[in-house]
Amino acid sequence: MTLNLDLPVQHQNKSNSLMEIWSDSLTIFWGEWLDLRVRVKQIVASGMISPLIYILAFGLGLGNSLAKPAVGDNYLEFILPGMIALSSMTICFAGTTFSICGDRLFSKTFEELLLLPIHPLSLFLGKMMAGVARGLLTSSSVILIAVLFTGKVWSFLNPLFLLLLILNCAVFAGLGVLAGLSVQSIESVGLYNNFLIVPMSFLGGTFFDPSSLPPIFKVLIYILPLTYTSTGLRAAAYQPISEFPWFTIAVLLLMAFILMGIGGYQFSHQQD
């Protein structure tokens, strides 16, 4: 009978590799943050305009003529979690995509990043975390608006709500990284925005309850990541924990991991 004495060593090597990937990811993120911190006010303000228009037009305008929704005391409360999801999605995707495009197509500094002696997954995670930071900065202003309109502080600042918001930022920042790596011109970014982000803004459960749709339309709506975020945020804000749809966290987490795998592969084969 022989004992495999290599198992502890292999386990330690694996742990060291994961720690190294995480450490390198933080290094990439810190480089991005040094650029972001000088534009914090601009980032926060830019993500407030569209949600504020939607809140005024639909929540206060159209909402006064609608019946009480299934979730929330009125239609304004109903759409506020969706507006937070919408603002984080928009800035995470657009900000991350344009950041990588600028490095690849204009400043031509992206090649230097690819030459760094670090794991490709670290490059993806660092860029993704920068996108998450952008999304949280923007959505924080929309959360403030939601608290001022409703007076419900805990509804929008409880751990479950914040967890879903971070996962949503991670998913769309990951999509932004992949888009930024694949586009060949700034005009191409507009195609992603027109065929992915804009339709999702209106069909992702931000303005309506997806569960009320006919089955054939539910299939389409529940393909969209934003639907799970809007549904989960709304439940986390207004419903008891016993009624929370836990599948929303699982789906967003799965999407984030899938994008992580694709992103690591893409960075390892990227040629600019």
* Predicted confidence (pLDDT) per residue in 201-212, tens digit: 889 998 888 888
| Cβ(111)–Cβ(76) below 8 Å | no
> Crossing angle, helix 75-101 and helix 225-238, to 10 degrees?
140
pLDDT, residue 9, reads: 59
Element (H, E) at 104: none
Helix, coil or strand: residue 44: helix
pLDDT less than 70: residues of the chain:
1-14, 63-64, 272
pLDDT, residue 3, reads: 47
Q: How far apart are CA 143 and CA 156, in angstroms?
A: 7
Helix, coil or strand: residue 80: helix
CA-to-CA separations, 76 to 85, 89, 147, 201, 235, in angstroms, rounded: 15, 20, 12, 17, 15
Place of tokens 């984080």: 88
| Cβ(167)–Cβ(129) below 8 Å | no
pLDDT, residue 114, reads: 85
Copy the structure tokens of residue 217: 């339309």
Does the pTM surpass 0.85? The reply is: yes
pLDDT, residue 131, reads: 95
| Cβ(88)–Cβ(135) below 8 Å | yes
pLDDT, residue 5, reads: 47
Closest by CA to 169, choosing from 201, 130, 207, is: 130
Most distant pair of Cα atoms in the chain: their distance: 79
pLDDT, residue 166, reads: 97
- Rounded to an integer, what is the distance from CA 16 to the centroid of its chain? 28
pLDDT, residue 169, reads: 96
Q: Based on the number of CB atoms within 10 Å of its own CB, is 117 exposed (0-12), middle (13-18) or buried (19 or more)?
A: exposed
pLDDT, residue 269, reads: 85
Q: How far apart are CA 80 and CA 72, in angstroms?
A: 10
pLDDT, residue 18, reads: 86
